[in-house]
Structure 1
Amino acid sequence: MTLSRASLASYVDHTLLKPEATPADVDALIAEAHELGAFSICVSPSMLPVEVPEGLAVATVCGFPSGKHHSQIKAAEAALSVAQGADEVDMVIDVAAAIESRFEDVQKDIAAVRAAVPEGKILKVIIESAALSDEAIVGACRAAADAGADFVKTSTGFHPAGGASEHAVRLMRETVGDALGVKASGGVRTADDAIAMINAGASRLGLSGTRGVLDGLDGVQTDDAGDGGY
């Protein structure tokens, strides 16, 4: 089964999180996301508020990229982002807590942000999967589910350990089942990469090079032709 360009685009959070990004860069991102049919844009919280065409969601990040922020600060950042028009918030956990199997602390951190992101808004939890063992990936995903998150997400794209992998996405999907979305982000640069992540269980993709991925789609096969807007 061949995944159409439009269907693949519907999985995509078209992303710009470079520290040097300007308002003009964000305007260009919005225009390109609308042209390509992406699900959303994802920008740094300081770039909010933004105006987007109808049908294009607005995502932002929280506690990014290190996750080493007090939970109260993460919650305040998330609340401000929602007040400034964010539909979705991608928060970073304290990765060390997951590495040390302190999953109760991970859950409490996520729950604090969940309390600040009201019903109807989406909370994604970045676990930095490349830095975690399989056991820590499972524990972090369970903590996210127990805290009321809507998605688990592989990576910030800024960690030296790397970004998304098929193995991590598959393990995350097996852990959360159909209850949560799974977002693959970090190092997904080609159509082959994107299809591999979808086949592994991703229901959303974080891409900065969306046009190049879509342009490379021809002839790439997938087992799933569904809508990526989980």
Structure 2
Amino acid sequence: MTFQLSVAELANMVDHTLLKADAKKAAFEKVCQEADEYGFKMVAINSAPVAFCKELLKESSVHVGAAIGFPLGQTTIATKVFEATDAIKNGADEIDYVINIGELKNGNLAYIEQEMTGIVSVCQANNILSKVILENCYLTDEEKIAVCEIAKRVKPNFVKTSTGFGTGGAMIEDVRLMKETVGADVKVKAAGGIRDFATAKAMVEAGAERLGTSAGIQIINEYKALVKES
């Protein structure tokens, strides 16, 4: 994807992220206000504050996104499906869930497909966007491809590079690999370590159609300045 986005179009690809364990209400109020002001696509939060943020954004077009099984992915399928269902009931517009990385490492692709099918089905039934977090820093290219091949069958809206809590974040080569594998059927979200415009631009050019970052304001302000200069 060649980078020909306006400032507003780039902003609308940003999932403005607040996933800190010690975040207080004031922090959520701030992140929601910023997302609305800058025209970001979504606030990316844990599932507990979903109802609070949904109320704050009830007059806004900004989505509320709940992180499920976050950040380790080490809960059962039933638990993840329940958490996703509960978040949707509380107002979530989008669900980002972490796969069971251990089961992928065990070669248990049937489990990964069952898990993905369970969560994506709940999201589809409620007209909610779904994103599958691979946590690529722990995976081989073969494992990344295997999950993306499953995604081609199950049809989540996005496959996503990272939680931002692992040993590494989004890598351009991973975005390219994921996009090449899923093709036009599924979109790619890059997340983890995207802190400046140059990195955001590179991710978009590699095929990402959504960016998860807590540095969205810095990225957009940097791009605004570059657009003014040109």
Common topology (TM > 0.5): yes
> In the alignment, what sits opposite 1:120?
127
Contact kept in structure 2, 1:40 and 1:56, CA below 8 Å: yes
More helix by share: 2
Question: 1:130 aligns to what?
Answer: 137
Structure 1 residue runs of 5 or longer lacking an equivalent are 221-230
Structure 1 contact 11–204 (Cα < 8 Å) conserved: yes
| Other structure's SS at 1:123 match | strand
**Does residue 214 of the first structure (1) align with residue 224 of the second (2)?**
no
3-state SS in 2 of match to 1:61: strand
Aligned pairs, how many? Answer: 219
1:223 alignment partner in structure 2:
none
Identity percentage over the alignment?
36
Q: Quick one: distance in 2 between partners of 1:133 and 1:56? A: 35
CA distance in 2, matches of 1:144, 1:21: 32
- Bigger drift between 61-70 and 118-127 goes to 118-127
- Where in structure 2 are the equivalents of 1:1-230 lying within 5 Å? 2-49=4-51, 50=53, 51=55, 52=57, 53-117=59-123, 118-160=125-167, 162-217=168-223, 218-219=225-226
- Shift, 1:215, TM fit: 1.8
Distance in structure 1 (CA, Å) of the matches to 2:64 and 2:22: 20
Cα offset for 1:158? Answer: 0.4
Does the Cα contact within 8 Å between 2:36 and 2:60 map onto a contact in 1? no
Higher relative contact order (CA 8 A, sep 6+): 1
Deviation for aligned residue 1:157: 0.4
Runs of 4+ in 1 over 4 A off after TM superposition: none
Q: 1:119 to 1:179 in 2, by over 3 A?
A: farther
Q: CA RMSD in A?
A: 1.4
SS in 1 for 2:107: coil
Letter in 1 for 2:216: T
Distance 2:41 2:83 in 1: 23
Structure 2 unaligned residues grouped into runs of 5+? none
Normalising to structure 2: TM-score of the pair?
A: 0.91
By how many angstroms is 1:26 displaced? 0.7
Contact preservation (8 Å) 2:151, 2:182: no
Q: Which amino acid aligns with 1:151?
A: F
Residue 197 of structure 1, CA deviation: 0.3
